[in-house]
Structure 1
């Protein structure tokens, strides 16, 4: 099999697994048209259609599904063989693709990424920040970062970043002077609240905890946004209360632009985890990153486990 044949097969696998030329192209930093050309060459060579393409979807044909099932282990073995050679280098090389929540990209990864890439100059780190839950492996990522409640249970997990985080309720002094200070979660029904909407379309209720008591409040207000920066800026401007990650409002709290409210009802939870499918046959860049995170002096030092 020639190098060109191998590249076309790998292009087919990428498109078939992501069900999208655009997503597969973005993950590989190539154009969608180059992947389309590779598929056309492969289908012409085999004399069979491998993918059904419409303006809205890309799905494998029966022949394409059979080929994909046989290709996955075969290409995995090739990748493992190449990675074995990579282990002989003084430092590993290659690309590590991570899918992470926005809060992690902004407030957890920056110091880790900077130190890691300085330690491993041969590695390229490709990070996609999104709050939409996806199958990271099917989408072509090597690993992901999530919080405990959304982790897939059959994955290896490794603590990364702070081990405890909080959701805090805050507002500007201007707003509190005008509208009063709530004392209980139910008081929020009478207040203007700035809500967050995930890209999935979900705008969740606000959930508060005190001891063993949990209260969920379906708040309303003048703004619903999918941008934490916009939400915090709106709160600073006096438009209402916001309930969000403490990291997003730390500087505004320190400066007095925002004030903490009902601190005894703030919600504390465990920090994020790096997760990946197996300790065996890990790509060298992922192995290097896992070892680096275990030793990084930020409170994330821990052994990985199920």
Structure 2
């Protein structure tokens, strides 16, 4: 198999035609057409519907195109890795990141990263909305979720995991008592976000000792996506919260919060890096991703925040 044939096919499919592929790559239309025809002959199926008015791929062509995208992306990544060894990474890395992660975890990593790579600039969008990676030109988007959907044209890489724990202030426990089972949470005010809403009800799915499992309906007093707002509300005794362990760690250590039902938790929250498979990762983005892979798990296990931030 001549992998150049697959690359010529990829160029044609990516640019939706031989003429456009010629303009984009500088490879002549006649060469592209001939090599794609040779590829079709080798694989024994038609890959492109030849029509003077419209370009389209056959089902076999679509499958090969998806595989070719990965091949070209991996090849570009390999080339970039070599380039990274021979030249200092430079340029702008556009990063999207959830607000909490940006403010109180990524903010601790960025200064050291930028000292190590003085020619790299970082454009950070701290936002809780679901960004469109390809359409918005994002190099790396960080997402924190229990599971992630496969999106066309995107690659996901798991970076770190965190656990969600139940917390409340000492004054809250004094008023409502110490629960001994999740079922008792239904009579307590809680803190949550709209993501936890299921079929017009607010529910937490909790996993306990010896494989036990329950879904608890609860009654929120505060709805807020930002975990640090939920944290401060929990510290002030407004409600019982279900928060990532790194977010609550400092307040647990200084006694402003208590760990409620410590044997119960949720499925692990995973922090993913999401990036385009189509354009390949440039050396600056690769350096940033490698830095996150190395340092983000460590920073998530350490208290990263002082509640004096709010005072």
> What is the CA–CA distance in structure 2 between the aligned matches of 1:290 and 1:279, rounded to whole Å?
17
- Whether the 8 Å contact between 1:148 and 1:273 is mirrored in structure 2 is no
Map 1:96-245 onto structure 2 (within 5 A): 96-146=93-143, 147=145, 149-152=147-150, 155-160=154-159, 163-197=160-194, 205-210=203-208, 211-245=210-244
- Name the counterpart of 2:274: 275
> What is the CA–CA distance in structure 2 between the aligned matches of 1:98 and 1:191, rounded to whole Å?
39
**Helix, strand or coil at the partner of 2:228:** helix
- Whether the 8 Å contact between 2:179 and 2:261 is mirrored in structure 1 is yes
CA deviation after TM superposition for structure 1 residue 189, in Å: 0.9
The runs of 5 or more residues in structure 1 that have no matched partner are 1-79, 301-306
- Whether the 8 Å contact between 1:169 and 1:262 is mirrored in structure 2 is yes
CA deviation after TM superposition for structure 1 residue 268, in Å: 4.6
> What is the CA–CA distance in structure 2 between the aligned matches of 1:250 and 1:87, rounded to whole Å?
37
CA deviations on 1:251-278 (whole Å, 9 max, x unpaired) are 1110111100111111251531222223
Q: Alignment length, in residue pairs?
A: 218
- Cα distance change, pair 89–184 in 1 and its aligned pair in 2 (3 A): same
Given the two structures, how large is their TM-score scaled by the length of structure 2?
A: 0.59
Given the two structures, how large is their TM-score scaled by the length of structure 1?
A: 0.60
CA deviation after TM superposition for structure 1 residue 176, in Å: 0.9
Rg: which structure is higher?
A: 2
Moved more, 188-197 or 88-97: 88-97
> What is the CA–CA distance in structure 2 between the aligned matches of 1:203 and 1:284, rounded to whole Å?
46
- Cα distance change, pair 268–108 in 1 and its aligned pair in 2 (3 A): farther
**Helix, strand or coil at the partner of 2:213:** strand
> What is the CA–CA distance in structure 2 between the aligned matches of 1:119 and 1:226, rounded to whole Å?
33
**Helix, strand or coil at the partner of 1:92:** coil
CA deviation after TM superposition for structure 1 residue 168, in Å: 0.7
CA deviations on 1:122-148 (whole Å, 9 max, x unpaired) are 111112222322321112211212246
- Name the counterpart of 1:256: 255
RMSD: 3.6
> What is the CA–CA distance in structure 2 between the aligned matches of 1:227 and 1:148, rounded to whole Å?
17
- Cα distance change, pair 174–297 in 1 and its aligned pair in 2 (3 A): closer
**Helix, strand or coil at the partner of 2:268:** strand
- Cα distance change, pair 187–257 in 1 and its aligned pair in 2 (3 A): same
CA deviation after TM superposition for structure 1 residue 104, in Å: 2.5
